[in-house]
Structure 1
Amino acid sequence: MLRSRTFWDQRGLHPVARLLLLLAVGVLVMIAIGFGFASGGFTRHDLLAIVLYAGIAAFAWHPATAAFIVMLLTSVGVVLTESGGDLLELAIALSLVAATCAPWVIIAHAVLLALLTAYIASDGSTLAAGGVYGIAGIAVIAFLLGVAFRLVAARETFLVAERSRISKDLEAIAQEDRERIADELHDGIAHDLTLILFHARALPLQPDEAARNVSLTTIEESAEAALQSIRSLLSLIRDTETEGPRVHPSRYDGNIIDAVSSLGALLNDAGIPTRVSAPSAPLRVASANERALTETAIEAVTNIIKHAPTSQSASLDVKDRADVVELVVRNVVVAPPSGNSDRHGGRGLHRARHRLAQCSGTLETDGTGDGWMLRATVPTRAGSSDPM
């Protein structure tokens, strides 16, 4: 810490030290005034002493200014009165300078003290035998006391900064956990509950037994999936050190081709004729990128069922291009909403865009005049490496 530049930066006194300094200066001023009245008048030395004490009090607010005031007044006192008392005060003041001022001010103070001591010692009339050593010893002790006070203040500043950093880190960890839980709720449970709600509402309106059986089966399977998601979420909450199992990648194994086939079947079961197009060969894409694309497809289909359940048709297309794998999801509605108020989507699309960005992918959503379109891309394996 002593080698740190910030340790030697100018710093103010601790509030408690500032209060004690002002009390001490107040007592010294009262003593000087008392001696002046007792002796029947104030001498030039008494006036210099009072002004010097006022300069010392300035260390409570402006240490550098106070240091130069003290150096100036003690220099005047030594030259005019040739008093060793001024040297003693200058030596003691080194403790305040060392505790608050920058290194060059400390050096200037020490050099001035040495020069004035040499000036007085050359006369030999005001310093007792060995007085030079006494001044030097007091100066060294004052300097060490000042450094000690600076060390205590720096340590307190460091502890306050460390406490603030730890508090921010804990808040960031707590926020990250909240985000993870929110993601599990949105990506897992919300998807299944959307299917349950849709088919529960549609069940009384189904025209035949086969359609009712499809709705009942979907409700049962979605309820089981939601229950599993809740168990996974509880496990995530209880054990924050272990990453909770992701719901949808486990359902589709992070395979976008299987995912769009299953999601197309879900839309067909929901009464939305859906066309699915995907390559038959495995995709040239990293597993993390494919998982991000899979979750984006789930989000898109969930939004269609939730916000446009009366869509006339939909399509899910996966295209393996030269440098990217592209997912395009479209739906056609009877009366498309006016404007593009949902262009950027809510939390789900925001999270999907964030996941894709982490994989150097992109996500675009927009109205098409007769419905809605989502286009997502991720780099192929040649353009990215699997972080797993």
Structure 2
Amino acid sequence: MATAPLTILARFRAPFWSFRPLNTLVRRLLLVTVAGILIVDSLLRATSDTEISLVRAIFGTSIIIVVALFAWRPPAAAIALTAFALIGTVTAGASDALLSAAVLVGLVGTTCSAALTFVYLGAVFAWTASEVVSPDASLQLAGGFVIAILALVSLLIGFTVRQLQDRSLRLAEQLAASEREVAEQLRHERDLIADELHDIVAHEITIVALHAAVLERTQDPQTRAQSQTAIREAAVQALTDIRRVLGMVRGEENLSPERVPSADSLEGAIEAVSKELGAAGIAVTVEMPPELRLPNASLLALVRVIRESATNVLKHATGTRHVRIALTVAHDWVHLTFSDDSPPAQTAGLPSSGYGIMRLRERFRLFGGTLDARRQSTGWVVKASLPLAA
């Protein structure tokens, strides 16, 4: 119940000349109504036997014309009506126009600032008082009281309409904000699901494809057994990860980064990558400080860089014989270097989307770090840096 007075007080703090424009439909209805009233008023005056004074005719017609200004500039219309009311206060003798002026208080209250509305209301009350006390006026005290009540009721209706409009606008803004938030959450969840699927497809399926190619080219029993084992392990891991992603899609698992299943330890990720690369005949050298402790988000980011880099070596760096993984900590930053000795212009023939590196760059940027991947004279080099407080 206290919202209405607070709304009125807030409107008093609004600029004097501020206004709420009428919508297109109301504007058209207003203009049609004004045109119709002008036509009817002119016909009535032309056919009436009653003599109408010039002042009353001017006031009546002027007020009707001024009402049309509300379609474009409500404050200008309100000021014009206020001027007519003040003129009526001085001249008197136009009580029939006073009734129209009282009814229009609601229109002023709907479209104009509260300060301008009460200025106009005061002018209407002054006009009413002058008509009541004037010896030449036909308006009696009871009639003046009725007009005052009519003006107040019109004001209440105008403020109520304005309040309903404000509430409707607030609800529309809240709905738009909620829709934007939902859209952002959906986009975020799609990105997380895409990241998970990319990790599965790009890494495990790459292992399957490479070892399937080995099975086609070799008849060595030991090599074939190793490839079959690698295919089986990669397929089982891929199925496990796909079931986890499906659980995310069904809502069985949350997708917020802090609630994504914890990443493997760096040691575990490097050991798994070394085993996969070793199975492809690539030696791995690891350099990292002992007892390296990282936040979960930083750990997950670095693990994904190592896995993505290893996948790219298997997919695109045919001829690689050695990979170096180096982790260093300096000045509250952790630095990762993943390099290979692959010769240029040799690939394993597997397609590349560039999605993995692109998403990793975005992730590192959000964490305040950097990621760079480029070919140098000695082979491909991936460098990633993150603040320890990420």
Which of the five TM-score ranges fits, normalised by the shorter chain? 0.7 to 0.9
Q: Deviation per CA, 1:38-94, whole angstroms, max 9, x where unpaired? A: 148986332442232121122122211221222233444554453222332222111
- Post-superposition offset of 1:346: 2.9
Aligned partners of 2:204 and 2:235 also within 8 Å: yes
Alignment of 1:259-274 (within 5 A): 259-274=269-284
Q: What is aligned with 1:340? A: none
- Post-superposition offset of 1:141: 0.7
Aligned partners of 2:89 and 2:128 also within 8 Å: no
Unaligned runs of 5+ in 2: 347-352
Aligned equivalent of 2:158, options 146, 152, 167: 146
Aligned equivalent of 2:285, options 257, 270, 275: 275
Alignment of 1:185-224 (within 5 A): 185-206=197-218, 208-224=220-236
Q: What number of residue pairs does the alignment pair up?
A: 371
Q: What is aligned with 2:381? A: 373
- For 2:361, the aligned partner's letter is R
Aligned partners of 1:296 and 1:352 also within 8 Å: yes
Segment of structure 1 superposing worse, 49-58 or 118-127: 118-127
- Post-superposition offset of 1:143: 0.4
- For 2:222, the aligned partner's letter is A
For the pair 1:73 / 2:84, whether they are aligned, the reply is yes
- For 2:172, the aligned partner's letter is V
SS where residue 130 of structure 1 aligns?
helix
- Quote the RMSD (CA, aligned, Å): 3.0
Q: What is aligned with 1:137? A: 149
- For 1:195, the aligned partner's letter is I
Aligned equivalent of 1:156, options 153, 168, 188: 168
- For 2:232, the aligned partner's letter is E
- For 1:187, the aligned partner's letter is D
Q: What is aligned with 2:338? A: 329
For the pair 1:257 / 2:267, whether they are aligned, the reply is yes
SS where residue 263 of structure 1 aligns?
helix
- For 2:68, the aligned partner's letter is A
C-alpha separation in 1, matches of 2:381 and 2:261: 23
Alignment of 1:1-388 (within 5 A): 1-2=3-4, 3-4=6-7, 5=10, 10-39=19-48, 44=54, 45-80=56-91, 82-126=93-137, 127-206=139-218, 208-239=220-251, 242-243=254-255, 253-279=263-289, 281-321=290-330, 323-335=332-344, 346-380=354-388, 384=389
Aligned partners of 1:335 and 1:370 also within 8 Å: no
Segment of structure 1 superposing worse, 19-28 or 176-185: 19-28
Moved over 6 A (4+): none
C-alpha separation in 2, matches of 1:58 and 1:79: 24
Provide the TM-score with structure 2 as the length reference. Answer: 0.84
- Post-superposition offset of 1:37: 1.6
Question: Using a 3 Å threshold, how does the CA distance of structure 1 residues 194 and 43 change in structure 2: closer, same or farther?
Answer: farther
